[in-house]
Structures are given as C-alpha cells and as structure tokens.
Structure 1
Amino acid sequence: MQPPKSMQASAPPRELSRLAALLRYEILDTPDETAFDDFTELASYICETPIALISLVDDHRQWFKSRLGLDVSETARELSFCTHTIEGQGIFEVNDARRDQRFRDNPLVTGDPHIRFYAGAPLTTPDGYNLGTLCVIDRQPRQLSKAQRGALMRLSRQIMRLFEERLQAHRYAEQAALQQALLNSAASAMLVTTADGTISGVNPTAERLFGFTEAMLVGQPLTTALFPLDALSRRASILSNELGEPIAPDFAVLTAPLLEGRREMREWRLRHRNGGSVPVLLNVSAIHDERELLRGYIVSAYDLAHQEHLQLRLQQIAAQVPGMLFQFCWRPDGKSSFPYLSEGVEDIYGLSAAEMAPTIAPIYERIHPDDREHVLASIRHAASTLTPWQFEHRIDHPRKGRIWVEARATPMRQPDGSVLWHGLVTDITERKGEQIELDKQQEMNRRLLEALSEAVVACDADCNLTLFNNTARRWHGLDAQQIAPEQWPHAYHLFHADGVTPMTMDEVPLIRALRGERIRNLEMTIVLHGTPRYVLANADPMYASNGQENGAVVVLHDITERKQVEILQRDFVSTVSHELRTPLTSITASLGLICGQVMGEVPEHLQELLDIAHQNSKRLSALIDDLLDIDKLYAGKMRFELQVQPLRPLLEQALRSNQGYAENCGVSIELRDCPAVAINVDPMRLEQVMSNLLSNAAKFSPPGETIELWAERPDTQKVRVKVLDKGPGVAEAFHARIFSKFAQADSSDTRQQGGTGLGLAISKELIEHMGGQIGFDSTPGEGACFWFELPCHPLDEAQQ
C-alpha cells in the first residue's frame, strides 16, 4: 500500500516513510483484539488512570486499536496529544493541560473527554519509526512516578512486539495458503514426507493419480505404500555400485542421490489402488527451514500415462499420413540422428526405423547421386537461417525404382546448439509426372499463342497483365507492363473504331471482361506511330475451378485490310451515288410527267412500259438515297437535331405517314398502348426508322391482317416501341445478319416484295446514334416483332 496522494504531495520524506511503515503492519481499521485490550487495562491499572489507549496516527487522524474508558474510535490528528508523542523520543507527559499553552484551548480539553493529564509512550518499529502511542489519560492533573514511566515504556515495547508477531503470523499464513494453493493446483502429483519418508500430505492430483485418498496415505511410509519392492531392490543395487556404499531398498533409494549433490528425474511404475501400475516421472526435493535443518521432502510425480497415450495416438495418426513423419536432430559436432520416425519410412526409402535411427547415411545413399549435394546444401542453409525447409528430389527405391519425393521440415534451435527438425516426406511421383506433362502442354500452348496471327492479352483479377503474345507485342509496340489500368489506353495506343477518339479505362475490352461482360466483335483501333490498325475485340472473364473469377482474356483480330476495302467500296458507292442522283432525278421526274399524261395522251401499248420504267426509277432513287444515308452515317456526317418530345404524338404521326402504304398492301395499322413518357430524339430520323419498320411489316403481312404498334416500359429508365406483323417470320439462318447492309432473305416470296436491303441497317445506325438499341423476336411461320429501346423520363404536366 502507498500513502495517500495528498499526503505525498505535502509531507516531508521522513513522514512519508513513517506512514509507509504504518501501512506495512496492516493493522489500521482492524477489529478489536483481546491481546491488545489486555495491554490497555494493564497500563490503566499501573498508571492509575481511568483512560488508556493504543493509538495509531496516520496522515489525518489518530485511530484507537484498543481503548479503555473512551467511546470514540478515532479523533482528528490536529487535535491529538499523540502527534506530539510520535514527533519526539521517549515518554511525552502533560501534567495539566489547562495550564499548558499548547493544549488549553484544545476541544478535547475544553470539552469531552475533558483531558487534564496525558502521558504517552511511542510505539517504535525496529527501524526507528513511531507508528503511534500507548497513552494514559486522566481528567485530574497529576504526574507519573518513575516506576510508572518505566512500566509504560516496557508495555509499549511489548505492544510493538505483538505487532511484529501479528505481522509475521499474517506472512506465514499467506505463505502457507500460497503453498497449499500451489500444491492443490499442481498438474503433477505432489506428496510431502517427513525426513524419514513418512507421508504427511498429498495434493488432489496425487489422490486422482493413485486412487488413494489423503487419509489412506498420510502416516504411511512412501516407499511401502506406493513402490514395488522389486523395483526398489534393483535401483538400490545400481546405486550401491555407483556410490560405493550399501543402499537399503527403501526411502534411501530416493534420497541417496540428493546426499551426493545430485538431483535426478527417473521413471517409475508406482502402485495404483486398483492393483495396477501408474507410469510416472519422479523428482525428489529436500525441504529445509530457515536454519537449514532438514524438515522433510517433496516428491513430485508427473503422469506419463497421458504421454504414453499421446505417443500411441501419434503413432496411429502417423500411420494414416501418406508419407513419413520424422524428427531429425543435427548436432554441432556434425553427428545426426532421428529421435522419431513413423512407419512410412519403409514406403518412402525402403528402410526400417532401426536402420535409420542412428544416422542419416542410409537415407543419403538412397538419394539420386545428382541430387545429393543440392539436398545437403539446402539443409545447411535452412539450419543456419532457421527457416522452413522444402525440397523436391529423387529417391532410388529398392522396390519401386526411381521416385520423386517432397521433403518439408521446420528447424528449431536447441539449448545445446543442435537443430531439431520436425518434418514430413511424401511420395510425389504421380504429381511430378502430371506436372511434367502439364509443363509440356503449357509449352505447347505458349508456342501456339506465339504463332497466332491474332493478338492475345490476359490479366489476373488484380489487373496485372499476365499474357502478351508475340502478335500483341508487335501491334502495341511493347510487352506487358506492370502499370495501372488507367494508363493502359495511352500506353497501348487504344482508340475507338474511328481511330481518333481515345478509349477510357472503362471502355477497354479487357477491363469490361474483368467486370463480368462478354465482348463480341467490338471494333477498335490501335494507332502506333500514326498508323491505325483496325481490330475486332472478343473478350471474356476467366474463372477458377471453384467458380471464382480470376482474370480476363481478350483476342484481337486484324480487320485493317477489310476496313480498307470497305472504305474503297464506300467511296466508290458514294461517288457513283452522287453522280447518278442528278440524272436519275431528271429521268424519274420526266417519266412521272409522261405517265401522268401531262405531255399528252400516251399510246396504250407504251403505257405499261412507261409505268414499269417509272417504278424502277423510283426504286433506284430510293436505293441511292439509302446509300447516301449509309455513307453519311459511317462517315459521321449525318446531322442529328435532338429534341425532347412526347412519344405518343411521334407514333401517331408515323402511323398516319404509313397508313396509305399499308392500305396499298391490303393491311391496316393499329396503335395500342403508349406510356406517358418523353424521349430525346431527332423526330425526322425517328420517323425514318418507324417508316422502315412499318413498311416492312406491311410488305410481309398477308392481306387483311392488322399490324400492331405499341410501347411499353421494361424499367423506369427506358421505353420499348414494338411493331408486330403477321408474316412468315425471320428464318433462323438469317437472324445473325438481318441488320447488315444489303441483307435480304433469299426466299422468292421475299424478293418479290422488293427493297434495297439497307432499311434495317440504317435503322440500327439511327437508333444507336440516338442512344438506343434495336432488335427483334421471331419464330418462323408465326410473324416477327421488331422493337427498339430509347432512354425516357415521365412527362411533366406542361408536356401532357
């Protein structure tokens, strides 16, 4: 315990030490004790006073351990007479407090208990600290005689001796309790004996281990109660030879080594109450008192039955392990041994445990000659650095022939400087063969990848590039770099299909595939040193066997030559279309005037020929218009004037514009449901798309049928417009190229309907330029439903 902090801050060092000494005796605020009350009664009797006190003074009060003639248990220190006593040496006496200037105004003098006389003898510790006083008090003035003063001092010394004895008794009790707690909680069996070997106490572990209760063992000779006589006799004979003097087969067998200054731990099999035996590891220690006199012995017995059980369990477990479990000890002098080997040694090395135990030489001879030095070097390195050891090497097995093994072990430095290894050796011949075959396959795959004309690039789940074949290195102008994905577009010269707009990281096919997308035939450009290379990208995520995504791969196919041919074709078509448009417009107009008989009546035999020429000229004009639209779309020259407009009026206008054509085909168009949404489109381009879809539906629907037109919202962000016809549907073989240029089904009934084969291709480009997508659903023989989706938002009140 420490003195209060307030006292530490203000008291001088001597006072702090005194308070610490007072706390050390642990007597403050303890209950009354008769031994101390006897001293106060004796002091009162000898000094002939009505009041006697044993007072202890701390930092703020005087507390009475014993009191006679006074009811209170403590008073404030600043009022106490005892404070003056502990500040001096010897007895402090006040004959008449009312006449003493120091005390005449003290409340204890002027009030209860009306002190007039006080005499106090200090209670002084052996190291000179005054803890308090033995004091006597009277309500009348008086003076102690010399004999009374002497008696008061002797009594104070006796009280201090009682304090010391009380403190010592507490210490002994604490030590005894601690020793008993240690004995009771010890994991080993503990037996305490007298000097002659008689059992005087046992702990609970000993009762459980041997089956005897403490009452059965106490008072019995230890060796008679628990030790087999034949074992004692054998050990006595051995000790007699070692020590050169006769040793009796009794308790002397256990104590004789101690007398020679030897402490030994030895395995014994002691008796159990049930008649069986208990394997233990025994240790004997002498007990001496403070004067070094022998008081007895403590015999500790560690239960080896559990260890034997664990060893058996280890052997059973080791028998199930595919391979050899071992402990290997490498000593500083170069010698080695195997403290433990499992039965797997026969399977791995074709050796028995007996052949292996003394040395590593038999194993060394089994190692393939080309691997021996490498194995030893790796063991030496692991031993010097105390790092885990792992090594694959070949073994020449006497029955199996040449096999591959993997050895793993963890080294631990021992107190004697040796290194103890705990390890496992397993046969990996089958795995090694599979690995060699896999290496061959991987090498073949690597050569195939390098020989491909396509560029192949892969990355792992952390965006680290892991594969860059020769074609990829040549096209990008560099190999795989460990750079952040944000830098890929710039470092690898990635652009959109136009060869001008740089890609962002989120647009890179490999990144998109890593996020779970499957990219098919995405056109993009690699622009190296100003020269564009047009490629088609196909990318997919990669998955491990457990289904966890572990990367992505992209394959790039060079379409530069095809793009150049397309550009030449587009330039040719554009040039021809522009050159044909003006004369064809004049021809169409002239034929229109003639057929309309504006120039006069046309002979009947020419009318049919002129009508055919007029219709074909209009079809040719439509073809040229479509060619020019396609050219503008691909060249990026078509202008789009986007406006936010309600959807329904646009559909109604499309219906009106195409109703006449539908009637000519013998069908009708019906506008059904349309949600109240607005879309951001170019109205003229949207009507062009609607005309293509509605005219196609009219051409391929049987006469008398109704074409259905409606819109719906697949989610809150998009609206889908649908056109459903009752025609023959789209052939399965034609699905993949229906939106391609000049695409028409090859059936004769389709060809009879006419058309340029560009309408759906133009519609696809127009819808995608306005931020949407187009598609269809069809089953042959059951009609077709063409649709397109566009972003939308709800109409506000003003638009409605």
Structure 2
Amino acid sequence: MPPSVPSPPRELSRLAALLRYEILDTPDESAFDDFTQLASHICQTPIALISLLDDHRQWFKSRLGLDVNETPRDISFCTHTIEGQGIFEVADASRDPRFSDNPLVTAAPNVRFYAGAPLTTPDGYNLGTLCVIDRKPRRLSAKQRDALARLSRQIMRLFEERLQSHRYAEQAAMQQALLNSAASAMLVTSADGRISGANPTAERLFGYPESMLVGQSLTDKLFPPDALARRAKILSNELGETVEPGFGVLTAPLIEGRREMREWRLLHRNGGNVPVLLNVSAIHDERELLRGYVVSAYDLAHQEHLQLRLQQIAAQVPGMLFQFCWRPDGNSSFPYVSEGVEEIYGVSAADMDPSIGPIYNKIHPDDRQRVLQSIRQAATTLTPWHLEHRIEHPRKGLIWVEARATPLRQADGSVLWHGLVTDVSERKAAQFELDKQQEMNRRLLEALSEAVVACDAEGNLTLFNRAARVWHGLDAHTIPPAQWPEYYRLFHADGETPMTVDEVPLMRALRGERIRNAEMAIVTNGTVRHVLANADPMYASNGQQSGAVVVLHDITERKQIEIMQRDFVSTVSHELRTPLTSITASLGLICGGVMGEIPAELEELLDIAHQNSKRLSALIDDLLDIDKLYAGKMRFELEEQPLRPLLEQAVRSNQGYADSYQVSLLLGDCPEVMIKVDTMRLQQVLSNLLSNAAKFSPTGETIELWAEARGDGHVRVSVRDKGPGISEAFRERIFSKFAQADSSDTRQQGGTGLGLAISKELIEHMDGRIGFDSSPGAGACFWFELPCAPVEAAPA
C-alpha cells in the first residue's frame, strides 16, 4: 500500500530544508561511502544506502551493492521511514501487504529485508535515510539498531559540516573578490603586524608584488621611521602610556576603542612617497579572538589629481558648476562653486558669500518667488530641478540663465544639490525670434487660398490650415493613414473613383516621392472640388525624413471653364464639319476642272479658297480628336504587330508631303520587336512628327526616322530634323493645346498647334510616353517609347 501523503506545508518546508544543504545530484564523496560500508558491515547486509528524497524520487548520495542512482519515490521504502520517527524496519517485504506487490520486491533487487534510520536536521525535518537491505528475511539486533541510528546522526553532522565548509569557502571567495576589486589598497596583517596578503591596488600603489610584502613587518616596510616616532610621541601623551614607534602606533587607538582615519605618506618601492588616507580594522573570529588586522589605504595623490582635473574641466564648462546645500533651518550654503560664477552672477568664487543671499539678490525680482518655489518643490520631492529665469548681471545687464540640479538627501535631513547654471540669452533671443517667425508662418498659412496639409514621419497629421479645413469640412484628426481617403473623401480626378492610401499624394511624398500637379478631387456633401496636388517629403537637419507636406490648388472653376470650352468647340466643330466638307469637296471639283475650264482671273482665288478650306477641315478634325481624347470617347483597337512595317508605311505615307518642302525621309535601324498599338493612331502620331520635321527642315535636308531597344522592355522611335530647334521659352508648353513657337499672324509655318498635344494623348493611351531633345539652332529630335517584346517571344 502506498505511503500516506504528508501535509503540503510540512512537505514544502522539508523540501526547502533539503535544498538548503545543496547536496542533491552531487558527485560521490568518500566520506559518505565510509558510512555505507560501516552500515553494511555492522548490519551484515549486502546493500546499504544513503538516500535523499525530493518531491518525486529517492536519490542515493552513497550506495553499496546497488547499481542505480535513484528510484521513483512512490515505490521507495524510505518514504515510510521519513514519515515517522526512529528506525523503520520490514522483516519480510513479500509478506507485508504494504510492499508485497512493490516492483523492488517482485523484481531486482528482490528486497526482502529493509531497515532505515532517518537523517533528521536540527530543526526536525527528515531529509532521507541511512538504510540497509537484504534479499532474505531477517531482523536487526538491538546493537545493530543502535549503531544504525548513531551512524545516521553522524551522517547528518557530516551534512552540516559540508554545508558550513561551503559557506566558509563562499565567504572567503567573496572576501577575496572584494579585496581584489577594492579601489583602495588593502593589506591584511597578523596580530603582530606582519603582512599576510595584499590586493592588486596595494601592489600598484606601493610598487611591490604581493610576494615581496608577505611576511614583512608592515611598519618596517612601508612607514617612514621619523613619522612613526612623531606619531608614537603624540599618542603616548594622549593615552598617558608609552607607545613604541612600530605597529602599535596603528593599533593603539583601537585598543582604546577609537577608530581613526589619518593621512600618512608611505614609502614606495622606487624611494618616493605616497600620500594616503589610512584606516585600520581588527579581525576577530567567532569567539572574539583577535586574528589580525585589515589596513586600507586610499590614494590621496589620485584624489588630488582628480580634484585638479575637475577644476580644469569646470574651467572649460560654459557656465557655473556648483554644489548647494539646502538645510531645513534655512542656513543654506554653497560648498562648491566654479569660477564660472563670475560669468553668470558677476561675483568671483573667492569673494563668494557662504549663503544664498548674494546669488538670490541677482535674480530678477519678478522671477524670485518662482525660483524659490521650484527649489522647495524639488527639495521636497527629491526630483531634478530645471528652471529658466532672468538674472540682473552687473555688467551684462539682463540675461537669461538655465539652471539644472539633482538633489540628494543627506543623513542630517539637508539636501545637497549638484548642478549647472548656463547663460542661454542667445538661445532665448533666437527662440523668441523663432516663435515670432512661427506665428507669422501660421498666420500666412491660415491666409493662403491653397490648402496645406502636413504629417510627421509616423503619418500623424500635424498641419491642416484654414483652407484645408473648409474644403474637407473637417479638421486634422489622429487617425491611421489607411483611413485618410475615406475619412477626408479623396477621389481621382473624375470625382467618382475613390483613392487608395497608396495613391494619396501626401502618402506618396511620405515614401520619398516628389509629386507635381497631380489632379484629384475632394467630395464634400456631394460637391466635387477639383484640385492639383504638389507634395514633397520633409527632412530634418540630420538628413532624416521628418514628414511630408502637400499643397492643394483649387482648379474647380478652371475645370468648369475647360468643360464649357470643350463643349463649345465640340459643338462648333460638329456644326462646321458638314457644310465645310461640302465646300471643300465643291472647291476641289471646281479646281480639278470637273465643272469646265476656270477663267484665269479666278484660278488663283479658287486655289487659295480650296487650300484654306482644307486647312480648316484639318483644324476641325484635330479639334474633334482632342475632344474625344479628353472625353474618353476615342476607341483604341490595340493589336500586337511588328514595328518595322509600321515605320515603313509612315515613310511611304509622308514622302509626298516631304517632297513639297523639298526634303527627304530616311528610315534607319529598327530592332525586330513586337508592339501592341492601334495602327491608325500610331500612324497619326508618326505623321504629326514627320510633317512637323518637314515643315521646319531647310531645303535639301534629310529627316531621319529610326528605332532602338531600351533596356527596360521598351522601344524608342525617334524623328530627327535639322531645323532651328526648340527655344527655351517654348519647351514647357510644347505638348499643350494650341501651342506654337511662333504664334504671330505672320508666322512662316502653318498648323493648328494641336498635333503634338494629340500625339501625347495617343501615345499615353497606348501605355507609352513622348518627349524631345533639342538645342536651339541644332535641330530637334522628337521620340516616343512603347512597351515591346522580341519577335520570337511574341504569341502567335
């Protein structure tokens, strides 16, 4: 039957006691093996164990006659032993109902006889057992039982000694570590003053390795004889008894119950001397017997060097370094002030009054109460003090200072402050000017007719001027950027397609893009406001991006005018097209002689009328085309086809027009690529570019047409002429509607000014882009790029 379960609190305390001895899972030790040998010999058993029980197992610190290190606790005999008092004995386990079916009985090691004596701590906890086991039934004699009990007590004493030994070793190691890491020189001596140890700081301070100090008399080795003699004489007079000029000079005050720290100049190995602050402490054992002394020597030379260095550093600090002692009785003082007090308060450190009065009187009268209250508050709460206030400097006049200090509570209840006061007049002046500038900027932003919105690097909106609030009908709110499009009702230029967060100009600028004239719409209460967005990232002085800003310009009225113009032009163009077609056709028939011979006096007039009617027809066609493009009504039938035949067709179609200007067309290189385009629209673009080149080329020149593959999966088609080139003033609007370099009534070349604008729209509708390169007087090269694929990779 299983053992009874002890009460949880008692068992937890027992386990804690077991862990305190730090013996579980430790290596074998011969001292414990001796006890199992004795127990086996005395009790005449083949098996003897020192067993310790934790919460789930019994572990054997020493074992004789058994190979395993541990067994489960729930089948152990020792569990029964530790739950009782005295020896627990089982004569025949196979006949005992508590153990008859125990696997330790029914199988190896085939336990029949068991006797265990508990290992009991001084405070009454049974940690385990000393047990003996036999494979046949039997009983212990009274002498054997007594011997087993005595052996268990000796094992427990061994536990205690082992624990005490570990504690002593830990303390010794800790003491040695403290000695080795001490900033002061530490010398350990015997009771008669001979050195038994020295830490590394002592070796460095006096120049001796420890081996040269150990065994030497401390005072003979390190103390000047004349200094010892003088101190011995003084002590003899003070104590009323003779003190010999030796180690007794250091220990005599201790005998009288006095502990003193005294400055000495001790001897260095190189013959020099070392200024130190010396302290001597006695070492007593547990019986209060004197075992020796610890002599600590603090290096005053190092302290003097540090003080000098502090003074040098303080002299370089802009401002006044200080220590200020605030006492509850009101007797406050400055234990230390640097020379910078002259810069801040106009008084010298040498003439500094010990009280706070002279300093306090230099504070501007309007600031004194605030300064006093802040000091009291910081002294009460022991929180860092930081305050900017004004000082009436005797030479500089009114200045601004920044005071910072950290308070430390002292044992006597006073508060010692360590702080710095600096002149911040220039910074305050700059801050006042910056505040004024920021206020002016704020007013300017509020007065702008454009909407201005800005955010920080995390996407938090930081600026929302008056126009932005009016246009959105909202103010800036702390919402994630992902909610901007929906919350602020941001749409594409059509005013119907909602923007995604990645399309919002401010978000694009936050990712590092520069946005120029991006058209979009703001829809508020069903009203569409069309705007142009210009956005840029913002950067801090260290080059890190600090946020982004977008400026929105309202083009709603312009859009409405454009729509009205487009509707008007479209209406007029449609109304003119039918009668003009009839007029042009009629004039063509007359000029062609279909109606008979034309009188000589009318021939020139009719030819002029015919040419101008054709020009007017071309203008109307261009107007209708541009109207369809902007209205999105022009159909594109895109078809994948090789590029070269399209260029050859363009040359053939435009050669006659070039001949009329006495220039020639030359088709150059063209890669074998496939492009997906609307053939008619591409020919319209090529005709525009070739006809423009013909018009502006000198007589007899050659216009070059060629194509080249780009490395980004596009092909560039170029048309180069040798005309006058594009002037700087015309470059920005060359692709605009009705744009012409010479817009006067007497211009030499005709044209509607719509051809390049139409070409741009057509190319962009076919996923391409158009541009030009030109130098005034050196001709122009117009080009467009389209996506392409090699002929062999194109689908059938």
How many Å apart are 1:759 and its aligned residue?
0.9
Tell me, what secondary structure is at the counterpart of 1:403? strand
Taking a change above 3 Å as real, the CA distance of residues 239 and 700 of structure 1, as seen in their structure-2 partners, is farther
How many Å apart are 1:277 and its aligned residue?
3.6
Provide the residue aligned with 1:222 in structure 2. 219
Paired with 1:186 and 1:685, the residues of 2 have a C-alpha distance of 89
Matched AA of 1:538: N
How many Å apart are 1:747 and its aligned residue?
7.8
Residue segments in structure 1 that go unaligned for 5+ positions in a row: 1-12, 41-54, 66-72, 79-88, 90-121, 134-148
Whether contact under 8 Å (1:19, 1:59) holds in the other structure is no
Whether contact under 8 Å (2:222, 2:266) holds in the other structure is no
Matched AA of 1:310: L
How many Å apart are 1:264 and its aligned residue?
4.3
Whether contact under 8 Å (2:485, 2:491) holds in the other structure is yes
Instruction: Identify which of 650, 670, 687 aligns with 1:691.
Output: 687
Taking a change above 3 Å as real, the CA distance of residues 162 and 787 of structure 1, as seen in their structure-2 partners, is closer
How many Å apart are 1:619 and its aligned residue?
0.7
Task: Report matched runs for 1:367-382 at 5 Å.
Answer: 367-382=363-378
Whether contact under 8 Å (1:489, 1:502) holds in the other structure is yes
Q: Please say if 1:362 is aligned against 2:343.
A: no
How many Å apart are 1:784 and its aligned residue?
1.1
Paired with 2:443 and 2:594, the residues of 1 have a C-alpha distance of 77
Matched AA of 1:426: T
Paired with 2:790 and 2:373, the residues of 1 have a C-alpha distance of 78
CA shift digits 1:558-610 (9 cap, x unpaired): 33333333333323222222221111111111111111121222222212211
Tell me, what secondary structure is at the counterpart of 1:781? coil
Moved more, 387-396 or 266-275: 266-275
Matched AA of 1:670: L
CA shift digits 1:442-474 (9 cap, x unpaired): 222222222233332222222222222223322
Tell me, what secondary structure is at the counterpart of 1:284? strand
Tell me, what secondary structure is at the counterpart of 1:328? strand
Paired with 1:555 and 1:400, the residues of 2 have a C-alpha distance of 46
Whether contact under 8 Å (1:405, 1:425) holds in the other structure is yes
Q: Please say if 1:201 is aligned against 2:196.
A: yes
Whether contact under 8 Å (2:189, 2:294) holds in the other structure is yes
Task: Report matched runs for 1:38-77 at 5 Å.
Answer: 58=50
Tell me, what secondary structure is at the counterpart of 1:322? coil
Whether contact under 8 Å (2:382, 2:407) holds in the other structure is yes
Task: Report matched runs for 1:141-156 at 5 Å.
Answer: none
Taking a change above 3 Å as real, the CA distance of residues 281 and 575 of structure 1, as seen in their structure-2 partners, is same
Matched AA of 1:578: H
Instruction: Identify which of 491, 494, 500 aligns with 1:495.
Output: 491
Instruction: Identify which of 551, 555, 558 aligns with 1:559.
Output: 555
Matched AA of 2:446: E
Taking a change above 3 Å as real, the CA distance of residues 750 and 729 of structure 1, as seen in their structure-2 partners, is farther
Whether contact under 8 Å (1:233, 1:249) holds in the other structure is no
Provide the residue aligned with 1:86 in structure 2. none
Provide the residue aligned with 1:104 in structure 2. none
CA shift digits 1:746-787 (9 cap, x unpaired): 188993331111111111122222222211111122221111
Paired with 1:429 and 1:653, the residues of 2 have a C-alpha distance of 79
How many Å apart are 1:391 and its aligned residue?
1.9
Matched AA of 1:664: S
Provide the residue aligned with 2:721 in structure 1. 725
Tell me, what secondary structure is at the counterpart of 2:535? strand
Paired with 1:324 and 1:239, the residues of 2 have a C-alpha distance of 48
Matched AA of 1:554: V
Q: Please say if 1:631 is aligned against 2:602.
A: no
Whether contact under 8 Å (2:324, 2:417) holds in the other structure is yes
Tell me, what secondary structure is at the counterpart of 2:548? strand
Paired with 1:465 and 1:546, the residues of 2 have a C-alpha distance of 22
Whether contact under 8 Å (1:721, 1:789) holds in the other structure is yes
Q: How many residues align?
A: 716
Task: Report matched runs for 1:703-742 at 5 Å.
Answer: 703-742=699-738
Provide the residue aligned with 2:618 in structure 1. 622
Task: Report matched runs for 1:57-456 at 5 Å.
Answer: 58=50, 179=172, 182=175, 185=180, 187=182, 188-193=184-189, 195=191, 197-205=192-200, 206-211=202-207, 218=215, 220=217, 222=219, 226=223, 248=243, 254-255=250-251, 257-259=253-255, 261-274=257-270, 276-331=272-327, 335-353=331-349, 358-414=354-410, 418-456=414-452
Whether contact under 8 Å (1:22, 1:58) holds in the other structure is no
Taking a change above 3 Å as real, the CA distance of residues 294 and 506 of structure 1, as seen in their structure-2 partners, is closer
Instruction: Identify which of 751, 770, 776 aligns with 1:774.
Output: 770
Paired with 1:457 and 1:718, the residues of 2 have a C-alpha distance of 37
Paired with 1:582 and 1:190, the residues of 2 have a C-alpha distance of 116
Whether contact under 8 Å (1:718, 1:791) holds in the other structure is yes
Tell me, what secondary structure is at the counterpart of 2:634? coil
Kindly report the root-mean-square deviation, in angstroms, between the aligned alpha carbons of the 2 structures: 5.1
Paired with 1:535 and 1:161, the residues of 2 have a C-alpha distance of 97
Taking a change above 3 Å as real, the CA distance of residues 273 and 523 of structure 1, as seen in their structure-2 partners, is closer
Provide the residue aligned with 1:480 in structure 2. 476
Paired with 1:673 and 1:471, the residues of 2 have a C-alpha distance of 55
Q: Please say if 1:755 is aligned against 2:751.
A: yes
Whether contact under 8 Å (1:409, 1:421) holds in the other structure is yes
CA shift digits 1:88-138 (9 cap, x unpaired): x9xxxxxxxxxxxxxxxxxxxxxxxxxxxxxxxx9x9999999999xxxxx
How many Å apart are 1:365 and its aligned residue?
2.0
Moved more, 734-743 or 312-321: 312-321
Q: Please say if 1:648 is aligned against 2:644.
A: yes
Whether contact under 8 Å (1:280, 1:305) holds in the other structure is yes
How many Å apart are 1:405 and its aligned residue?
1.4
CA shift digits 1:673-717 (9 cap, x unpaired): 333333333222222212111111122223333222222232333
Taking a change above 3 Å as real, the CA distance of residues 762 and 286 of structure 1, as seen in their structure-2 partners, is same
Whether contact under 8 Å (1:191, 1:199) holds in the other structure is no
Whether contact under 8 Å (2:120, 2:156) holds in the other structure is no
Matched AA of 2:703: I
Provide the residue aligned with 2:581 in structure 1. 585
Whether contact under 8 Å (1:247, 1:253) holds in the other structure is no
Tell me, what secondary structure is at the counterpart of 1:440? helix
Matched AA of 1:198: G
Instruction: Identify which of 508, 514, 522 aligns with 1:512.
Output: 508
Provide the residue aligned with 1:659 in structure 2. 655
Taking a change above 3 Å as real, the CA distance of residues 389 and 794 of structure 1, as seen in their structure-2 partners, is farther
Whether contact under 8 Å (1:592, 1:614) holds in the other structure is yes
Larger radius of gyration: 1
CA shift digits 1:138-161 (9 cap, x unpaired): xxxxxxxxxxx9xxx99xx99x99
